[in-house]
């Protein structure tokens, strides 16, 4: 995240990534991408692309996508309101956002990726039909056998049911969480202390009640301590469609096959 609240830490992480990569040339074969989000990408080009990385940045709006274009981002990720963890102050969903971003910025030099609501072959096919070059599937990859997220987090995604997420305050704005008694409490506290989260009115660390951030920090710590009662676990709305914890290779191969089958079937169904 490169938002103002965490920019000093962003510089440390990116500088460290560059240094480690330079100290170990073999890493250049594998460590090729830097992924930024939650802030203005303008001003980061020289540091990130100058070091030889492919640069991806997440945006929640056409305005943000145009800033990415100006900044020289290689892959613009249009993230709809369905997405997990940090989401936009203004709730624009993927069916609207993705084709709008494609129309605004996609060309031979800039790829567009859809995020928020994508988790299988059906949704990958939909992203491609909407004009995207691919789809990001954060919650789906979180709940895999190889994922290094804590087991209770992975199990929480698999156990989620219909309407299994909610929005409350996160570190840098609204965030989507798995629905639990703990996240219900956080949402109620957010409504009482920072209703702007639900009204599309941005705030920052100089104007907000920091007890909400402290609650989130304690709750994320609880996840990694395996404390289900105090844990806050982020996930996208697609959690309600995820009911297994496969191996990554098996999952990816299945997603690709299903997307290919769907795309091949469209002309037969609708253009015959």
CA-to-CA distance for 122 and 66, rounded, in angstroms? 28
- Which pLDDT band holds residue 269 (cuts at 50, 70, 90)? confident
Residue 147: the pLDDT is 97
Label residue 206 exposed, middle or buried (CB < 10 Å: 0-12, 13-18, 19+). Answer: exposed
Determine the structural domain holding residue 202 and report its residue range: 151-241
User: Comparing C-alpha atoms, which of 271, 255, 270 is closest to residue 128?
Assistant: 255
Token pair for 24: 């170990």
Look up tokens 């909407």; give the residue: 130
pLDDT in tens, 102-159: 999 998 889 999 999 999 999 999 999 999 999 999 999 999 999 999 999 999 999 9
Residue 272: the pLDDT is 67
Residue 207: the pLDDT is 86
Let me know whether 131 and 176 are in one domain: no
Q: Is residue 253 part of a domain?
A: no
pLDDT in tens, 24-57: 988 888 999 999 998 899 999 999 999 999 999 9
The last residue of one of the domains, among 92, 109, 136, is 136
Let me know whether 121 and 212 are in one domain: no
Give me the mean pLDDT over the 64-73 stretch: 96
CA-to-CA distance for 112 and 122, rounded, in angstroms? 18
Let me know whether 17 and 120 are in one domain: yes
How many CB atoms are located within 10 Å of the residue 9 CB?
11
Let me know whether 20 and 106 are in one domain: yes
Look up tokens 């997307």; give the residue: 259
Residue pair 174/89 in contact (Cβ under 8 Å)? The answer is: yes
pTM confidence score: 0.91
Average pLDDT, rounded, for the chain: 95
pLDDT in tens, 181-209: 999 999 999 999 999 999 999 988 888 89
Q: Which one-letter DSSP state was computed for residue 40?
A: -
78 beta partners: 59, 114
CA-to-CA distance for 149 and 224, rounded, in angstroms? 8
Residue 3: the pLDDT is 86
Q: Which one-letter DSSP state was computed for residue 109?
A: T
Look up tokens 């692309």; give the residue: 49
Q: Is residue 256 part of a domain?
A: no
Let me know whether 92 and 41 are in one domain: yes
Q: Which one-letter DSSP state was computed for residue 223?
A: H
User: Comparing C-alpha atoms, which of 136, 186, 176, 135 is closest to residue 156?
Assistant: 176
- 213: CB partners within 8 A, 6+ apart: 169, 171, 205
Let me know whether 162 and 225 are in one domain: yes
pLDDT in tens, 203-253: 888 888 999 999 999 999 999 999 999 999 999 999 999 999 999 999 999
The last residue of one of the domains, among 136, 169, 196, is 136
Q: Is the pLDDT of residue 79 over 70?
A: yes
What CATH number has the domain bearing residue 98? Answer: 3.20.20.70
- 64: CB partners within 8 A, 6+ apart: none
Residue pair 139/119 in contact (Cβ under 8 Å)? The answer is: yes
Give the count of domains, the chain.
2
CA-to-CA distance for 69 and 75, rounded, in angstroms? 9
- 225: CB partners within 8 A, 6+ apart: none
């Amino acid at each position: 995240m490169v938002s103002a609240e965490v920019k000093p830490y962003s510089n440390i992480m990116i500088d460290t990534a560059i240094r480690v990569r330079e100290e170990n040339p073999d890493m250049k074969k594998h460590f090729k991408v830097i992924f930024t989000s939650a802030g203005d990408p303008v001003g980061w080009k020289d540091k990130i692309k100058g070091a030889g990385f492919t640069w991806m940045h997440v945006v929640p709006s056409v305005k943000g996508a145009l800033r990415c274009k100006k900044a020289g981002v290689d892959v613009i990720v249009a993230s709809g309101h369905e997405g997990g963890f940090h989401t936009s102050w203004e709730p624009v969903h993927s069916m609207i956002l993705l084709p709008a971003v494609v129309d605004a910025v996609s060309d031979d030099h800039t790829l567009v990726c859809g995020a928020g609501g994508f988790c299988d072959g059906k949704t990958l096919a939909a992203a491609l039909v909407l004009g995207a070059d691919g789809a990001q599937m954060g919650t789906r990859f979180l709940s895999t056998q190889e994922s290094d997220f804590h087991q209770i987090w992975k199990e929480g995604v698999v156990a989620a049911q219909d309407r299994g997420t909610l929005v409350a305050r996160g570190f840098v704005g609204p965030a989507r969480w798995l629905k639990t008694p703990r996240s219900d409490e956080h949402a109620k506290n957010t409504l009482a202390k920072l209703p702007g989260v639900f009204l599309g009115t941005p705030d920052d660390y100089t104007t907000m009640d920091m007890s909400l951030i402290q609650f989130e920090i304690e709750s994320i710590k609880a996840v990694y301590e395996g404390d289900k009662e105090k844990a806050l676990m982020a996930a996208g709305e697609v959690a309600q469609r995820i009911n297994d914890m496969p191996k990554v290779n098996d999952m990816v191969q299945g997603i690709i096959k299903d997307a290919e089958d769907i795309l091949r079937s469209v002309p037969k169904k609708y253009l015959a």
